[in-house]
């Protein structure tokens, strides 16, 4: 069978558009799988895992991560739950701080700020459901006061943001962020 | 693709095998002549154009850095779903490619302005006035960046303004001058040496605001951005 030129041109145009849509979708979905430097990777440059590492102050041309607020100081902690549950503990002398928990793909798992934390101190425990059932058999004394977050994500990171109300408070915030713990329970 | 023969007048109808490819049969039932080279060229053109179209449209969508599910209020745009499991594929691609850690819903909400209230693109060489009210929030900050979202060098070295150091009117409203040279009152400095082509974004971050924790975003009061003067 022979197609008329007009028909084959129309068919060609449709095929082009159809194929273009498929390629567009593949490219958009493929980008997250082929990223060279994720936020999870970048944070590793600032110090070892399972401890809060102070990120450098957000200044022009020295941004540790993109889109950070220059009015804040940041500390980040990478963790892998196969190494055990992670306990976050911090007391930051500022009017506003917040913490976000993200998985290795950068999706939010949990977030809170100093008002929703319900206490002046941040004390939060992140673990897997199986680790929680082990912990329940022999609960630590302060389990009642902890914010317990169960997650199936094995690796992730936490970003702690603390507002610096005035440059004179910068040192105090620095010290508090450096002494914040992100480690093993007990 | 096959060429077409002109439906010329039949001189005489013969059924000999020698000239079986008679031109006067209707096109649709004419025996097919394979032309591998032409077919190959045709298919390559389709594949080439489709790749070009698909990749360039994906690139444009990602480079615009404006996810699909944006909420637009006046000049401000917010992506409350950014960095969550419900985010659309475009914002997932944009955020992972840029290694951006978004503000989570329990922390705050970032609103980005790329245009002024009249709909003109923001220009770092102009003078703007931001005035009005912000939604209830425990803390908010205003930051200026270039068109790619990077911070810029300003005259005083300060690149932001926060709600705690703001001068306000009696009724709680405020006016902020956004300019590269010093202004009295609230001054948000722009890049000291900027070209119009560098682009400008103004980022309003609301921390611990009811709008980030469930309350509807539509109907909230946001400040206006007015262009005062341009060189």
pLDDT at A21: 95
Strands (E), B53-157: 71-73, 76-78, 108-113, 127-132, 139-145
Name the CA dihedral angle for A155, B91, A66, A60, rounded to a multiple of 10 degrees: 180
ipTM of the complex: 0.86
Which range has the top average pLDDT, A104-108, A166-170, B29-33, B202-206?
B202-206
Taking chain B, what is the end-to-end CA distance rounded to the nearest angstrom? 58
Beta bridge partners of A36: none
| Annotation: CATH topology of A39-183 | Immunoglobulin-like (2.60.40)
Residue B78 neighbours by CB under 8 Å, 6+ apart: B70, B71, B109, B110, B111, B112, B217
- Kindly list the domain boundaries of chain B, sorted by start residue: 27-62, 67-229
Distance from the B20 Cα atom to the nearest Cα atom in chain A, whole angstroms? 15
From first to last of the 231 residues of chain B, give the pLDDT tens digit: 444 444 555 555 555 566 655 556 676 676 777 788 888 999 999 999 999 999 999 999 888 877 777 888 889 988 888 878 788 888 888 888 888 888 888 899 999 999 999 999 999 999 999 999 888 889 999 999 998 889 999 998 889 999 988 998 888 889 999 998 999 999 999 998 888 888 999 999 999 888 776 566 777 889 999 999 888
Residue A26 above 90 pLDDT? yes
The answer to whether the beta carbons of residues A157 and A39 sit under 8 Å apart is yes
Determine which of B48, B79, B96, B190 to mutate to test the interface with A (most A C-beta atoms within 10 Å): B96
The answer to whether the beta carbons of residues B164 and B139 sit under 8 Å apart is yes
Q: B89-128: per-residue pLDDT in tens?
A: 888 888 888 888 888 888 999 999 999 999 999 999 999 9
Beta bridge partners of B160: B143
CB atoms A39 and B55 under 8 Å: no
From CA B8, how far away is CA A135, in angstroms rounded?
A: 90
The angle at the Cα of A95, spanning A94 to A98, to the nearest 5 degrees, equals 85
B 46-85 residues with CB < 8 A to A: 46-47, 49-51, 53-55, 57-59, 61-62, 83-85
From CA A118, how far away is CA B26, in angstroms rounded?
A: 83
pLDDT at B22: 55
Residue A137 above 80 pLDDT? yes
**Mean pLDDT for chain A overall:** 89
In the β-sheet with B127-132, what is the strand arrangement from edge to edge? B186-189, B174-179, B127-132, B224-229
SS3 label, residue A134:
helix
More confident residue, B214 or A19: A19
Whose tokens are 């900050």? That residue is B141
pLDDT at A1: 53
**Domain at B67-229, CATH from 1.20.1070.10, 2.60.120.600, 3.40.50.720, 2.60.40.420:** 2.60.120.600
Determine which of A7, A74, A113 to mutate to test the interface with B (most B C-beta atoms within 10 Å): A113
CB-CB neighbors (< 8 A) of A1 in chain B: 28-29, 32
Residue A160 above 90 pLDDT? yes
Q: Give the CB-side neighbour count of residue B225, counting CA atoms within 13 A.
A: 29
Distance from the A39 Cα atom to the nearest Cα atom in chain B, whole angstroms? 5
Of B168, B162, B102, the closest CA to residue B138 belongs to B162
Residue A138 neighbours by CB under 8 Å, 6+ apart: none
| Closest alpha carbon within chain A to B34 | A2
Distance from the B18 Cα atom to the nearest Cα atom in chain A, whole angstroms? 20
From CA B203, how far away is CA A67, in angstroms rounded?
A: 9
Strands (E), chain B: 71-73, 76-78, 108-113, 127-132, 139-145, 160-162, 174-179, 186-189, 201-207, 224-229
Number of H helices, E strands in chain A: 4, 9
CB atoms B106 and A38 under 8 Å: no
| Closest alpha carbon within chain B to A61 | B151
The answer to whether the beta carbons of residues A78 and A38 sit under 8 Å apart is no
Determine which of A108, A112, A117, A167 to mutate to test the interface with B (most B C-beta atoms within 10 Å): A108
- Kindly list the domain boundaries of chain A, sorted by start residue: 5-34, 39-183
The answer to whether the beta carbons of residues A80 and A157 sit under 8 Å apart is no
pLDDT at A139: 82
Residue A186 above 70 pLDDT? no
CB atoms B98 and A71 under 8 Å: no
pLDDT at B16: 59
Write the residue in B4, B99, B164 that is nearest to A5 by C-beta: B4
């Amino acid at each position: 069978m022979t197609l008329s030129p007009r028909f084959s041109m129309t068919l060609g145009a449709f095929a082009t558009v159809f194929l273009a849509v498929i390629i567009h979708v593949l490219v958009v979905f493929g980008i997250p799988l082929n990223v060279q430097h994720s936020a999870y990777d970048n944070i590793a440059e600032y110090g070892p895992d399972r401890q809060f590492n102070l990120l450098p102050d957000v200044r022009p041309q020295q941004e540790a991560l993109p889109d950070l607020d220059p009015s804040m100081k940041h500390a980040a902690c990478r963790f892998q739950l196969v190494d055990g549950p992670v306990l976050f503990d911090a007391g930051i002398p500022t009017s506003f701080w917040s913490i976000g928990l993200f998985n290795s793909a950068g999706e939010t798992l949990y977030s809170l700020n100093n008002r929703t934390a319900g206490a002046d101190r941040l004390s939060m425990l992140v673990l897997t459901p199986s680790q929680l059932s082990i912990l329940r058999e022999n609960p630590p004394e302060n389990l009642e006061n902890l914010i317990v977050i169960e997650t199936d994500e094995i690796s992730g990171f936490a970003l702690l943001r603390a507002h610096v109300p005035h440059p004179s408070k910068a040192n105090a915030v620095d010290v508090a962020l450096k002494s914040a713990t992100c480690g093993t329970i007990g | 693709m096959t060429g077409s023969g002109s439906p010329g007048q039949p001189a005489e109808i013969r059924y000999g095998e020698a000239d079986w490819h008679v031109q006067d049969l209707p096109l649709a039932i004419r025996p097919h002549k394979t032309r591998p080279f032409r077919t190959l060229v045709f298919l390559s053109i389709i594949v080439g154009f489709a790749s070009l179209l698909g990749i360039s449209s994906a690139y444009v969508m990602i480079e615009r850095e404006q996810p699909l599910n944006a909420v637009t209020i006046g000049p401000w745009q917010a992506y409350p779903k950014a960095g969550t499991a419900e985010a659309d594929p475009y914002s997932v691609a944009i955020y992972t490619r840029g290694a951006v850690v978004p503000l989570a819903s329990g922390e705050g909400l970032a609103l980005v302005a790329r245009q002024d209230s009249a709909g003109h693109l923001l220009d770092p060489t102009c003078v703007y006035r931001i005035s009005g009210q912000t939604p209830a929030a425990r803390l908010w900050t205003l930051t200026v960046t270039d068109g790619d979202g990077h911070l810029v060098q300003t005259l005083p070295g300060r690149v932001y303004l926060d709600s705690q150091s703001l001068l306000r009117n009696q009724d709680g409203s405020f006016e902020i001058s956004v300019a590269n040279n010093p202004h009295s009152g609230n001054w948000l400095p722009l890049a000291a040496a900027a070209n119009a082509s560098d682009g400008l974004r103004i980022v309003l971050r609301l921390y611990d605001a009811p709008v980030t924790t469930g309350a509807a975003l539509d109907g909230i009061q946001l400040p206006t951005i007015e262009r005062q003067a341009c060189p």
